Homo-oligomer: A and B are copies of this chain.
Amino acid sequence: MINAGALGERKIIDMILKRLQQMPHMPIPFGDDASAVDLGNGRLAVIKTDMLVGKTDVPPKMNMRQAARKAVVMNISDLAAKGVKTTALLVSLGVPRDLLEKDIVQIGEGLNAGAREYDAYILGGDTNEASDLVISCSAFGVAEKNSLMLRSGAKPGDIVAVTGEFGKTASGLRILLGSMLPPRRLRKKLIDSVLMPKARLSEGLALAQTGAVTASIDSSDGLAWSLHELSRASNVGFMIDHLPIAQEVEDFAELYGVNPVELCLYGGEEYELVVTVKPESFEKVTKKVPLTRIGYTTARKSLMLKMHRKRIPIEAKGWEHFRTAPPRT
């Protein structure tokens, strides 16, 4: 019989979703970055859970403080992508028997640091014995119903924009997993992007306030995958004519003969926001939130990259559990 490894993450999610009865009038549909419950008076409780597993999500050189902080930040990022501030988090821990006392202290410190950086608090949790280190966080926030940013809502002609540059985590991960030793300054920047990810909370909150954002997602599964998710949820396509490749990524790619376009599009664990904005409001929006325009939304449901007068399809590739082997060079 087929097993989980053969099915892959997305198929497993589909199989489970199919068995769940939907809550009537869900304010945020299944499959968006977060979920919501109507609180009445135009307010929503927005909730999200995301699990960090040591074996697959903690690269070498990431200490337990950083791992715990990351587990918190990835949840805060998901709410930020909806324009929602995380108020409180819960943490469910799976702890291997041989985890050291100092690592447990670091987990406590990292959880608190991740939450307090974004003005949130850890309210409680649960500790269990497990074979892997598991840090499962749940984030909670309250939002105004009409300022929520969903994955659906992008319209043809909208501008696609991002909150930062891409490719640093994909490069940093290759350094951590491989034997490359780029110059110190470059190395530090790329590795830091993996070890100390940042959630775009203030940007997400400000974007939600503009009322000009038609769709939004965080790029935790990579830029290409995020665009495909927006495309699927909004039923539109994208023409990307400017790739937001970080300078450090260009330098890294040149040094080691890697393709910077691949690093930029098909990485992951990069917590930028990818949004579509009403074209007439774009200039006004960028005065409030620094955004980089990377292309526009099309009625035709295809994802294309325009580069050197060529059009290249953007594949639906990104990090997938059971499927993606960590890149090794």
Contacts and interface: CB of A to CB of B under 8 A. Distances in A.
Contacts of A30: 123-124
A93 to B, nearest CB: 8
Interface in A24-75: 26, 30-32, 34-37, 39, 45, 47-51, 53, 55-57
Contacts of A53: 94, 128-130
A5 B130 CA distance: 11
Contacts of A116: 21
Contacts of A36: 123
A4 interface: yes
A121 interface: yes
A235 to B, nearest CB: 21
A99 B3 contact: yes
A81 to B, nearest CB: 14
* Identical copies of this chain, number: 2
A184 interface: no
Interface residues of A, number: 79
A103 to B, nearest CB: 8
Contacts of A123: 23, 26, 30, 35-37, 47
Nearest to A116: B21
Contact of A48 (B90, B94, B112, B131): B90
A109 interface: yes
Nearest to A102: B1
Interface in A213-262: none
Interface centre among A2, A91, A104, A142 (most CB of B within 10 A): A104
A95 B53 CA distance: 11
Nearest to A131: B131
A94 B105 CA distance: 24
Top 5 A-B residue pairs of the complex, sorted by shortest distance between their CB atoms: A19-B108, A35-B123, A5-B97, A23-B121, A16-B108
